Structure 1
Amino acid sequence: MASAITKYFSQALGKQTVQEALKAGGWKIVLDGNLAETLIEHGPGGQLIGVDSNGNKYYEKKDAQVGRNRWVVYAGGQDWINQNSSTVPPEWHGWLHFISDENPANADIPKPMYALAAESHPTMTPGRYMPKGSWENPHRRSWKKVEAWTPPPAKGTH
């Protein structure tokens, strides 16, 4: 069992050995309980179902409890802080949450003509949306926030 865990741990972090994975920051997964659970509890015995365009790996363990038998290991497994669920494309989201049992890696799923490629949400990155007046927006407000009202002149007075 221990060798299966170390093998899966190394594969998920994209390293050849556990020592390389630990040197690359893999020890930090102990701090992140969700990633540690995925790598230790689910990982060994899970079958790789497919990889999406963002590099996320999808696994299934048929003999596990329903609802806990499908999971994703996000691309860049050693970058545990920036794990982002918004990188999961819609077709894989449907598979993960049992909306569809079709494997998106093998199925020819038609995409609407208006659909865009799934991208990571830019929150907490330099490319995020910052409205006018935001403290971190480089284009500061240069106009007055409040304009004083002056009443119109009364008719009949000079």
Structure 2
Amino acid sequence: MRFILSLITWYHAETLGTRLMTRFRGVKVGEDDQGNRYYRNRDDSRRWVIYADEPEASKVPADWHGWLHRTFDDNPAEKPLAHKGWEKPHHENLTGTIAAYAPTGSLRRDAHGDRRDYEAWQPE
């Protein structure tokens, strides 16, 4: 089904042109922990990613993002970046989903009756 959707729409997977370029000119460089596959062409003038599921740019980890945008030349599969102890693991952008962050007092919280951050104005 995914293959058929990719033939008629561009937003369900890689386009037909990207699929053909990957097949005939792509050199697989590596894969991240989310299953995204990273490619380059033979002379390394182009780099691209094939997403494991839905194409969402925020699913690309920072180390692979740096490789894609030529911030550094070494790919993370061969030479991983040194991570600090305080760094959190990468996850995609959750904005607009049910798992998005909602601070205390937000209207998205379940307990609407317990809002203590707002006092209605009363005339004197």
Q: What is the TM-score when the length of structure 1 is the normalising length?
A: 0.62
Q: What is aligned with 2:65?
A: 93
Q: CA RMSD in A?
A: 2.5
- Deviation, structure 1 residue 58: 0.2
Correspondence list, 1:1-150, <5 A: 24-29=1-6, 30-32=8-10, 35-36=14-15, 37-63=17-43, 66=45, 69-76=46-53, 82-130=54-102, 132-134=106-108, 137-140=109-112, 146-150=120-124
Moved more, 85-94 or 96-105: 85-94
**Percentage of matched positions with identical amino acids:** 26
Letter paired with 2:20: I
Contact 1:133 1:141 (8 Å CA) reproduced: no
Contact 2:35 2:52 (8 Å CA) reproduced: yes
Q: Look at both structures and tell me which one has the larger radius of gyration over its CA atoms.
A: 1
Q: Report how many aligned residue pairs link the two structures.
A: 117
Q: Whose helix fraction is larger, Structure 1's or Structure 2's?
A: 1
Three-state SS of the structure 2 residue aligned to 1:44 is helix
Three-state SS of the structure 2 residue aligned to 1:93 is helix
Which sections of structure 1, spanning at least 5 residues, go unmatched?
1-23, 77-81, 151-158
Letter paired with 2:89: A
Which sections of structure 2, spanning at least 5 residues, go unmatched?
none
